[in-house]
Amino acid sequence: MTVLEFVEKAQIFCTQLNGSITSWYRTEEHNRKVGGAKRSAHLKWLAVDIIYDVPFKRVYRQEIANSLGLKIIDEGDHDHLMPRDWGRTINGY
């Protein structure tokens, strides 16, 4: 998935679920400071962290993510969204 394809899908996801992006691209230094994974998709503009105006059930958020080819990880106070195939494509490492 290209960065532009990801942006479009993240926009659709956030619009459908009334979500706001709180983190997107990170430098390696910032990623390290916030405890991000060494190979985080944030480093390649291919991940966003999202909070919601009104939370939807996890199963519904997962259905929307799947329909867009995205992987969603519930991190407690926010969701982490990235391409489902992250790490298995030329975009990943």
* CATH code of residue 46: 3.30.1380.10
51 found inside a domain: yes
63 found inside a domain: yes
Read off the DSSP letter of residue 68. Answer: T
Band of pLDDT at residue 88, cut at 50, 70 and 90: low
Share of the chain above pLDDT 70, in %: 92
Q: From edge to edge, which strands make up the β-sheet containing 19-23?
A: 19-23, 48-52, 79-83, 70-74
46 found inside a domain: yes
Mean pLDDT of 37-54: 93
Q: Residue 89: what pLDDT?
A: 53
Reduced to 3 states (helix: H, G, I; strand: E, B; else coil), residue 25 is coil
Written as one letter, the residue type at 31 is N
Identify the domain containing residue 79 by its residue range. Answer: 3-83
C-alpha of 21 from chain center: 9
Higher per-residue pLDDT: 78 or 93: 78
Band of pLDDT at residue 91, cut at 50, 70 and 90: very low
The number of domains in the chain is 1
Which pTM does this prediction carry?
A: 0.85
Mean pLDDT of 33-42: 89
